[in-house]
Copies of this chain bind each other. A is one copy, B any other.
Amino acid sequence: MMATSTFSMDGMLAQLEADTRTRLLEGAQRVALPAGRVVFRAGDACQGLPLVLSGVIRVQMTGASGNSIVLYRIGEQDVCTLSVGCLMAARGYRAEAVVEEAAEVLILPLALFEELMAASPKFRREMMAAYGRRLDDLMLLVEEVAFRRMDDRLEDWLALRGSDTVIDITHQALAEELGTAREVVSRLLKELERQGRVSLGRGRIEVRVPFAR
């Protein structure tokens, strides 16, 4: 919890004025979250604004049918914009968040958030930028889900992991990435295997021919 802690030089903390950063680091609570930890669930009240120092947090949503879809991820030196709305409107979350890679997170109390918003142009700028990214992520997602074919989207997803030849993921988890059903993913993958483009194992996809993006 020292203001002298190290942090990456290209992230949002490095962008801030020195005194703003100091104030932030001393006023926020620092917590370590192990992989798999559920940060919040749909309906939970919000405790403060999380700022991810390291690791990755996945934000996803579950429909009435029980199906889930991954909305976006919060990476290094990114904030959980969703929390701002929950904090200010004092209502519950609509989505849930799970730690994907063990993370260190700063939790800014509402008062500190408002203090920094008032005091620091750079903090304001970073907050607005974070909101912009989230809005963008979600708009892209809406377009994908509404208009693109599942086989295309699956190939895109595989292409994003292009460098790894072996991907460790279950069909169920992949279905949740794409917001579809496990059976659909199984069938599409099987077809790719028939075409010789991947080999499948239990919880494993081996990419034989890299997917272009």
Contacts and interface: CB of A to CB of B under 8 A. Distances in A.
Contacts of A36: none
Given A69-B146, A124-B117, A143-B63, A135 B81 contact: yes
A135 B132 contact: no
A142 B69 contact: yes
A55 interface: no
Given A84-B131, A124-B117, A142 B145 contact: yes
A48 to B, nearest CB: 15
Contacts of A124: 114, 117-118, 124
Contacts of A61: 139, 142-143
Interface string A154-167: 00000000000000
Number of copies: 2
A86, A145, A179 interface centre (most CB from chain B within 10 Å): A145
A8 B61 CA distance: 36
A135 B63 contact: no
A84 B146 contact: no
A149 to B, nearest CB: 9
Given A121-B118, A134-B135, A138-B135, A89 B129 contact: yes
23 contacts: A61-B139, A61-B143, A63-B143, A63-B148, A64-B148, A65-B147, A67-B147, A71-B139, A82-B135, A84-B128, A84-B131, A84-B132, A85-B128, A85-B129, A85-B133, A114-B121, A114-B124, A117-B124, A135-B138, A138-B138, A141-B142, A146-B179, A147-B179
